[in-house]
Amino acid sequence: MRLLDKRTLVTGGSDGIGLAIAEAFLREGADVLIVGRDAGKLDAARQKLAALGRPSAVETSSADLATSLGVATVVEQVKETGRPLDILVNNAGVAYLVPFESVSEAQFQHSFALNVAAAFFLTQGLLPHFGAGASIINISSYFARKMIPKRPSSVYSLSKGALNSLTRSLAFELGPRGIRVNAIAPGTVDTAMRRKTVDNLPAEAKAELKAYVERSYPLGRIGRPDDLAGMAVYLASDEAAWTSGGIFAVDGGYTAG
């Protein structure tokens, strides 16, 4: 077991990539605290994770991390248990894929509140509670470095670019305290988030996108949530003891071209 007795927190752990990471962490012997807004979704995820055989290793926290109250609630919950935190995965995110000229101020603020400020202030609030050799993993996106035709991404790309900068600057600043900070930049992954942005496209645009994906992913398919779990386990584990400040593409080869 590569994460035996490690205490981990996964934001957005009730669905998609975060849930797959939480599941992989549990299988490797870690305890997990998953955070999301919807209590029903959190409960379903808790049941799924508990069915792996260690129900007492699964905790949930219902909080909106796009608000400072939500961030404070999660910090308080970690603090209350009195046990140090070993691994933080800043995964919860939002994607507004809308044309530049129609990005609203509310969409801009929400993107930065969740994709950037939540990672920033959650990490800051938890800083006194990290154990020796802690690992922070930010879930970025290929959209920080590569765009897709007809998928306007200005505000999403900007926020994930900011998250990459945060990853590098914190690796530099927190390294002397023995804290490692890395990011994973997934390619397109089949989750509720992706379906939300694709389902309402007109049929022709959907077909075009499908054809684009098929010819652009060297490995021939988009990702599944558990495609991201191996890299997360590696970065969380002591095997990555000398790995910090990296932005690791896990994208079926998409950004290689």
Ligand X SMILES: NC(=O)c1ccc[n+]([C@@H]2O[C@H](COP(=O)([O-])OP(=O)(O)OC[C@H]3O[C@@H](n4cnc5c(N)ncnc54)[C@H](OP(=O)(O)O)[C@@H]3O)[C@@H](O)[C@H]2O)c1
Q: Using CB under 6 A, list all residues that contact ligand X.
A: 11-12, 14-18, 35-38, 41, 64-66, 70, 91-95, 114, 139, 141, 186, 188-189, 191-194
Rounded least distance, CB 207 to ligand X, Å: 19
Between 164 and 243, name the residue whose CB sits nearer to ligand X: 164
Between 66 and 78, name the residue whose CB sits nearer to ligand X: 66
DSSP annotation of 131 reads E
Between 35 and 181, name the residue whose CB sits nearer to ligand X: 35
Rounded least distance, CB 180 to ligand X, Å: 19
Q: What is the side-by-side strand order in the sheet with 85-90?
A: 58-62, 31-36, 7-11, 85-90, 130-139, 180-186, 247-250
Rounded least distance, CB 28 to ligand X, Å: 20
Three-state DSSP class for 203?
helix
Give the whole-angstrom CA distance, residue 177 versus residue 179.
Answer: 6
Give the whole-angstrom CA distance, residue 55 versus residue 29.
Answer: 12
Rounded least distance, CB 176 to ligand X, Å: 28
Residues 38 and 14 sit within 8 Å (Cβ to Cβ): yes
Task: Tell me which residues are annotated as active site.
Answer: 156
Residues 57 and 7 sit within 8 Å (Cβ to Cβ): no
Between 120 and 131, name the residue whose CB sits nearer to ligand X: 120
